[in-house]
Amino acid sequence: MRARGRLALGGGIVLALCVVALLAGRLAPARPGALDLAHEWQGPTAAHPLGTGDDGLDVSTEILYGARVSLLVGLLAVALAGSFGTVLGAVAGYAGGAVDLFVMRLVDVLLAFPGLLFAILLVALLGPSLFGLVFSLSATAWVSYARLARGQVLSLRDRDFVLAARGLGASPARIVFRHLVPNLLGPILIQATFGIPGAILAEAALSFLGLGVPPGTPSWGALVDQGASHLLDAPHVALFGGAAIALAVLGFNLLGEELRDRLDSRSRAGPSAP
């Protein structure tokens, strides 16, 4: 019962997010970046359903268009990190030896950076751009996919189906891509579902620090940054922006947990709350 609620809630939020991102142009009451200088830092009105920010920027428009940026960055960063990490980890696990050693040392070095630090550094140096943001977020995120894929491959590579493929004369590349990678997609998919909210949060945090999207790009993190200096007279700007982030992250997290419980037998073993 509760699990069904989780799927409905998570799926609903994610679906709504996608719809909003696609239809932002039709739903938004104003054009992105349009200013209304007469109504700065105003609470919700009929013309501006979620109020206005600096120079009369319409908050609802920013949030609708911000969904595009968040979703785009989240999906692209996970796609890039997931595919790169999976392939590298699978190759390292199957090849073993020097290749494995090199990849895992690289992983160790990147893991020496705490959390977002490496991404902050990269994105600050690359300058504000969407591509730079996606690249910076994937630059460390691939590590967890690589570790996961390598571990899976290590446990799979001596299984009969791999031996059979090898016996039939399949090339190493064919074994990795046709036989091993499809078999480890389940755990990777779960990881990716949790990776998307992680990337959305990270994008928002970087944009909040002023290091994320180029100035003027609608972004939830940038909206919170803008509202932060007006907490006294216009708290709605920061709060609505932050709520949008929290809601999106919540949706993907719920979906990820649902997916994990369905695909991963280990976490299903325990007696979960009814």
The identity of residue 215, as a single letter, is: P
Q: How far is the CB of 237 from other proteins (least distance, A)?
A: 10
Q: How far apart are CA 40 and CA 48, in angstroms?
A: 11
**Residues in region 125-154 near other proteins by CB under 8 A:** 125-127
Burial of 69 (0-12, 13-18, 19+ CB in 10 A): buried
Among 1, 4, 115, 266, binds other proteins (CB under 8 A): 115
Q: Which residues contact 262 (CB under 8 A, 6 or more apart)?
A: 268
Determine, following the binding rule CB under 8 A, whether residue 111 of this chain makes contact with other proteins: yes
Q: How far is the CB of 167 from other proteins (least distance, A)?
A: 36
Of 221, 226, 61, give the one whose Cα is nearest residue 133: 221
Q: Which is nearer to other proteins, 181 or 198 (CB)?
A: 198
Among 121, 165, 170, 185, binds other proteins (CB under 8 A): 121
* Count of CA atoms in the C-beta half-sphere (13 A) of 22: 6
Q: Indicate the Cα dihedral angle 110, 111, 113, 116, nearest 10°.
A: 90
Determine, following the binding rule CB under 8 A, whether residue 3 of this chain makes contact with other proteins: no
- CA dihedral sign of residues 207, 210, 216, 222: positive
Q: How far is the CB of 181 from other proteins (least distance, A)?
A: 28
Among 36, 40, 95, 113, binds other proteins (CB under 8 A): 113
Q: Which is nearer to other proteins, 169 or 274 (CB)?
A: 274
Residue 199 tokens read as 């990337």
Q: Which residues contact 225 (CB under 8 A, 6 or more apart)?
A: 207, 208, 209, 210
**Residues in region 186-245 near other proteins by CB under 8 A:** 197, 201, 204-205, 208-209, 211, 221, 224, 227-228, 231-232, 235, 238-239, 242-243, 245
Under a CB-based contact definition with an 8 Å cutoff, are residues 222 and 213 in contact? yes
Q: How far is the CB of 163 from other proteins (least distance, A)?
A: 31
Choices 44-52, 81-89, 96-104, 105-113; region in contact with other proteins by CB under 8 A: 105-113
Residues at the contact surface with other proteins, assessed by CB under 8 A: 2, 108-109, 111-117, 120-122, 124-127, 197, 201, 204-205, 208-209, 211, 221, 224, 227-228, 231-232, 235, 238-239, 242-243, 245-247, 249-250, 253-254, 270-271, 273-274
